[in-house]
């Protein structure tokens, strides 16, 4: 949950912060700095996005599977057709392993729990970047964007739904495919005009059955944290 603890306080700070305005040549003297140091407040947008492509590559940590430790690789490529709007294609590829909860259930009950683990999610989304700003860290100014996205996705998964209810049969995982809707919010931190770092939270909703009622599908949710390095061109 490290990603959630980082992004949520940052989002709240940005939302409730009071904006400051000033011209590019406005000069502020801070008495608590060295007398020969001055701070200029810039109001122009330094890192424009319109008519630019971008590529992000990074790692994924899954938070939704109770009985699996889930990590993976994330990648997306997109294009900003306006300063605040764009579209992108994305893919998450996962690697799953049984965690402590899984092993405890198996040891205590002498049976395996129901597990649905995701292998891949890919799709496209419309992106919206309404907020941008900067943080002044004494001698360095860090620029960032806060963005949102939503779009359709395809979920490739596997589960032991057909064997978990029969204790006389060895657990067997079978492939499953679902259509979903993926939403995302995140912060893009600019390192230079062509390199940036991303911290994102992604959620995919899809309908899938459970072991008690295989004919009835219920809404499921998969929640991921993503840390990535990106390039704009």
CB 202 within 8 A of CB 183: yes
28 pairs with which residues across the strands? 39
Q: How many CB atoms are closer than 10 A to CB 214?
A: 11
Model pLDDT for residues 108-144, shown as the tens digit of each residue: 887 889 999 999 999 999 999 999 888 888 778 899 9
How does residue 214 score in pLDDT terms, banded at 50, 70 and 90? confident
Per-residue confidence (pLDDT) for residue 230, from 0 to 100: 97
To the nearest whole percent, how much of the chain has pLDDT over 70? Answer: 81
Residue 181 has pLDDT above 70, yes or no: yes
Which has the higher per-residue pLDDT, 83 or 41?
Answer: 83
- The confidence score (pLDDT) of residue 161 equals 93
Output the pLDDT for position 107.
Answer: 87
What region, left, alpha or beta, does residue 86 occupy, with left being phi > 0 and alpha being psi -120 to 50 degrees? Answer: beta
**Residue 165, token pair as written in the block:** 């209810």
Percent of the residues in the chain that have a pLDDT greater than 90, as a whole number: 64
Q: Among the listed ranges 33-37, 101-105, 117-121, 173-177, which one has the minimum average pLDDT value?
A: 33-37
The pLDDT value recorded for residue 21 is: 41
Predicted confidence at residue 24, as pLDDT, reads: 41
User: What are the tens digits of pLDDT across the range 1-40?
Assistant: 444 454 455 544 444 444 444 444 444 454 555 555 555 5
């Amino acid at each position: 949950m490290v990603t959630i603890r980082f992004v949520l306080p940052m989002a709240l700070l940005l939302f409730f912060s009071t904006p400051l305005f000033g011209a590019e040549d406005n000069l502020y003297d801070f008495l608590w700095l060295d007398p020969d140091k001055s701070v200029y407040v810039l109001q122009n947008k330094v890192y424009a996005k319109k008519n630019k492509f971008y590529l992000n590559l990074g790692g994924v940590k899954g938070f939704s599977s109770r009985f699996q430790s889930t990590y993976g690789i994330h990648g997306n490529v997109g294009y900003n057709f306006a300063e605040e709007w764009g579209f992108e294609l994305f893919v998450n590829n996962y690697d799953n392993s049984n965690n402590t909860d899984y092993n405890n259930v198996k040891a205590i009950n002498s049976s395996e729990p129901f597990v649905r683990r995701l292998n891949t999610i890919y799709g496209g989304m419309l992106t919206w970047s309404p907020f941008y700003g900067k943080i002044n860290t004494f001698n360095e100014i860090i620029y960032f964007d806060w963005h949102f996205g939503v779009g359709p996705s395809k979920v490739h998964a596997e589960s032991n739904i057909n064997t978990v209810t029969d204790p006389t049969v060895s657990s067997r995982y079978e492939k499953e495919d679902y259509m979903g809707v993926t939403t995302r919010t995140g912060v893009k931190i600019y390192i230079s005009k062509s390199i940036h770092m991303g911290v994102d939270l992604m959620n995919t909703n899809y309908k899938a059955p459970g072991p008690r009622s295989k004919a009835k599908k219920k809404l499921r949710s998969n929640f991921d944290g993503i840390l990535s390095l990106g390039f704009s061109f």
